[in-house]
């Protein structure tokens, strides 16, 4: 099956990927490497913070979203990376044992003005738990290669 290209992501498309469970061990290991704050490392220390108990670094949630995006559709696409993120909102603590799914909505799509071989796809991502509660949301643009470079948008 050919790779998914820019043309395959249509405004309004919704897809859900996962599930994936985040473990306490993963949370502590990520925090030990990248975000050594007690609220992400230790239950007792975390209970005294605004998080009210051990929770993953928000960046860990982002990294997991990236992995679920990669496994969900990006590795089988003509991805050319991303110029950036409009917004990430850490809405709720990401607790050990949570079963995560990723809901992806295509917001809009446009051809690149500067690169005829590329299109830009703006997407909204929601990291959701088993009860469909949104834990982290993200809006960003992805760059994809086009099936027909230079064709009119």
Partner 1 sequence: MSFFEDIVVGESVLVGRHTFSAEDIKAFARRFDPQLFHLDESAAAASHFGALCASGWHTAVTWMRLMVDYQRRSNEAALARGERVGHVGPSTGFRDLKWLKPVYVGDTIDYRTEVTETRASNSRPGYGLMTLLATGTNQKGELVISFVSTSFVERRGKAS
Q: Which of residues 94-153 bind partner 1 (CB under 8 A)?
A: none
CB of 50 to partner 1, least distance (A): 6
Per DSSP, the three-state class of 113 is coil
User: Which residues, 6+ apart, have CB-to-CB distance to 1 below 8 Å?
Assistant: none
Q: Round to whole Å and give the CA distance between 141 and 143.
A: 7
Choose which of 58, 102, 104, 135 interacts with partner 1 (CB under 8 A): 58
Under the binding rule (CB under 8 A), the answer on residue 25 touching partner 1 is: no
Q: Which lies closer to partner 1 via its Cβ, residue 12 or residue 31?
A: 31
Q: Round to whole Å and give the CA distance between 153 and 109.
A: 9
Q: Which lies closer to partner 1 via its Cβ, residue 12 or residue 59?
A: 59
Choose which of 8, 13, 28, 63 interacts with partner 1 (CB under 8 A): 63
Element (H, E) at 69: helix 58-69
């Amino acid at each position: 099956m050919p790779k998914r290209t820019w043309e395959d992501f249509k405004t309004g498309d919704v897809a859900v990927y996962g599930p994936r469970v985040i473990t306490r061990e993963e949370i502590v290991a990520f925090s030990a490497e990248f975000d050594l704050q007690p609220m992400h490392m230790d239950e007792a220390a975390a209970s005294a913070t605004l998080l009210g108990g051990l929770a993953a670094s928000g960046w860990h949630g982002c990294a997991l979203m990236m992995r679920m995006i990669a496994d969900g559709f990006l590795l089988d696409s003509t991805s050319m990376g991303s110029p950036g993120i409009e917004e990430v909102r850490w809405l709720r603590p990401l607790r050990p044992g949570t079963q995560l799914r990723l809901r992806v909505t295509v917001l809009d799509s446009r051809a690149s003005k500067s690169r005829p071989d590329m299109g830009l796809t703006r997407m909204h991502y929601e990291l959701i738990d088993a009860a469909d509660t949104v834990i982290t949301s993200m809006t960003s643009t992805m760059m994809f290669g086009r099936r027909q470079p230079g064709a009119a948008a």
